[in-house]
A and B are shown apart, each in its own frame.
Chain A
Amino acid sequence: MNALAPILSAALVSGSLYALLASGLSFVWGTVRIFNFAQGALLMIGAYVAWYVTDPSRAGAGLGAGFTAALFALAFGGAVLYLAIVRPFIGRANSDLMVIMTTLAAATFFENGADWVAGPRYKNLPRLATGNIQFSNTAVSMQELIIIILGPSLLLAFAVFLKRAKLGMAIRAVEQNRDAAFLVGIDIRNIYVIVFAVSAVLAAVAGVLYGGEYFITPTMGDDPLLKAFIVVVFGGLGSLPGTVVGAYMIALIESVSRYYIGLYYTPPILFGVLIAVMLVRPTGLLGRAYQ
């Protein structure tokens, strides 16, 4: 019974972060049919942009400005990334595999670029709010509470946008039937750019939240990317509900395993679960068949 509160709060915090990053991956896969290996690097860039704008030793404009700057920078960055290294390959044979390579190259480029520009010294962002809240036998920091609330709220807002807005409808249309989407007059090229920008913004939010919890380093995105990767495969690539469910389930498995089995044995357990799921249900728990 004592274990319940710490396990749950840890699972909710990391689940929310995973959900933010993984939704972007899954969303891009669902509409554009490519897998973005640079998603973790986008998270990292979001954190750095926020740090440069926020930190007193640099622009010193405060966290609010830093957060906003990260969102705008990444919306732009996501669109540019798409135009530069994804669009040229769409329509070619094996475009999904080519884009794995170009996005991997982009991730390498950004990580080394960040190291070059920002140097190796660890940085971190101030927390969005300070203080703790006692929750049963566990102290949950305000920062964690914000993560737990902000993550799902953003994704909910995103889901409502997809459901209700004309543009959201168009995005779903592209995902479900490309040819028919063309024929009702949807400009698919623009939709793809928007999809990339939105998923980069989700990564930026995750980056700012990570940056307040952990150190900002050029490779800070690698581990979250890996987790997001497990999440989307587990939950089902291209399915937003599947991704969110997957994020919290993976976070829960991870949290339980860390508590009872230990930190070092957790990754093998996660990958074991993942490989089992892939062999039994290759399209993930809630995913659809893909051709």
Chain B
Amino acid sequence: MLLKVEDVSAGYGRIPVLNGISIEVGRGERVGLFGPNGHGKTTLLRTISGLMRPTHGRITFDGRDITTTAPKDIVSLGLIHVLQGNTLFPRMTVLENVLLGAYSKRAWDDREENLARIYELFPILKQRSRQLARTLSGGQRQMASIATGLMGMPVLLMLDEPTLGLAPKVKDELATAISEIAETGVTMILVDQDIELLLSVCERLYLVERGRVSLETRRGEKISQEDVLEMYFGKAASA
């Protein structure tokens, strides 16, 4: 297993969000997380990337215990977290944003080659490279955000709701790009509300509810999209 999250609890102040959650991600695997809003998906990613400390439990990455490791050290292991809501450095150019993605020593020397690959994946970013990030459209910002993550040469890439709030056409474009990234063989954790996207990209899905995994399913297993949707909305409605 590349990433192991064991019985992790975490929260904000006195409000617990994760209640002993456990997930596993194998090398080269693409894993999707879904579930109602506010039930801990984002918090789980933030805890894995070191932005939050778990109050309980253990996280290991590539055999190393990273439960209390500082975010910058986690990044330099190749565990890259792309935040929700196309979070960029708003008053920097697109190029500066993307270059900052290669900040860690591990990725800095290869930044030129990686930049070329990323411009291939997202040609629009090349056109906009001198523009300030805050002047981009929502979809472009999301692309720049993912590009920034890719510049860190991820071993494991965590994308938090990359298609949130995008128009259908832009969403399709991004979904294609994400599939392309997935095909490069990078290990991935994808959080999204779009089950179709998750099913097309991921081999395995976790349903996260009330701070723990309430269901795990594989793409191979006979589970139709309708089943997932029903499960998801049924439970969400009762929650």
Contact = CB atoms under 8 A, between A and B. Distances in A.
Indicate yes or no for A touching B, C-beta below 8 A.
yes
B152 A184 contact: yes
B81 interface: yes
A176 B88 CA distance: 8
Interface string A158-194: 0000000010011011001101111111110000000
A177 B51 contact: no
A177 B51 CA distance: 13
Nearest to A190: B72
Interface in B85-109: 87-92, 96, 99-104, 108
A185 B92 contact: no
B49 interface: yes
Nearest to A163: B96
Contact of A180 (B88, B99, B102, B104): B88
Nearest to A170: B103
Given A183-B51, A187-B70, A177 B90 contact: yes
Contacts of A166: 103, 108
Contact of A183 (B75, B91, B96, B102): B75
Interface string B127-167: 00000000000000000000010001000000000000000
Interface string A57-93: 0000000000000000000000000000000000000
B83 interface: yes
B54 interface: no
B33 interface: no
A180 B83 CA distance: 7
B49 A183 contact: yes
A177 B88 contact: yes
B90 A185 contact: no
Given A184-B148, A184-B152, A179 B72 contact: no
A273 to B, nearest CB: 28
A169 B87 CA distance: 17
Contacts of A179: 51, 83, 87
Given A172-B92, A183-B80, A177 B87 contact: yes
Contacts of B89: 172-173, 176-177, 180-181
Contacts of B102: 184
B193 interface: no
A243 B188 CA distance: 44
B211 interface: no
B88 A185 contact: no
Q: Is the interface of B mostly helix, strand, loop or mixed?
A: loop
Q: How large is the interface on A (under 10, 10 to 19, 20 to 34, 35 or more residues)?
A: 10 to 19
B238 to A, nearest CB: 33
Q: Is the interface of A mostly helix, strand, loop or mixed?
A: helix
Given A180-B83, A184-B101, A169 B91 contact: no
Nearest to A186: B103
Nearest to B133: A176
A3 B150 CA distance: 60
B51 A173 contact: no
B76 interface: yes
B72 A169 contact: no
B81 A185 contact: no
Contact of A182 (B50, B90, B101): B50
Interface in A181-235: 181-187
Nearest to B148: A184
A186 B102 CA distance: 10
Nearest to B49: A183
Interface string B48-74: 011100000000000000000011100
A184 B104 contact: yes
A184 B92 contact: no
Nearest to A177: B89
A177 B50 CA distance: 16
Interface in B180-203: none
A236 to B, nearest CB: 13
Contacts of B70: 187
Contact of A185 (B91, B99, B152): B152
A193 to B, nearest CB: 14
Contact of A169 (B49, B83, B99): B99
Contact of A186 (B72, B80, B108, B148): B72
A170 B71 contact: no
A177 B148 CA distance: 14
28 contacts: A169-B92, A169-B99, A170-B103, A172-B91, A173-B89, A176-B89, A176-B90, A177-B87, A180-B88, A181-B89, A181-B100, A182-B50, A182-B51, A182-B72, A183-B49, A183-B75, A183-B81, A183-B82, A184-B75, A184-B100, A184-B102, A184-B103, A184-B104, A184-B152, A185-B71, A185-B72, A185-B76, A186-B103
User: What 10 pairs across the A-B complex have the smallest Cβ distances?
Assistant: A185-B75, A185-B104, A182-B71, A176-B89, A185-B72, A184-B103, A187-B72, A185-B103, A180-B87, A184-B100
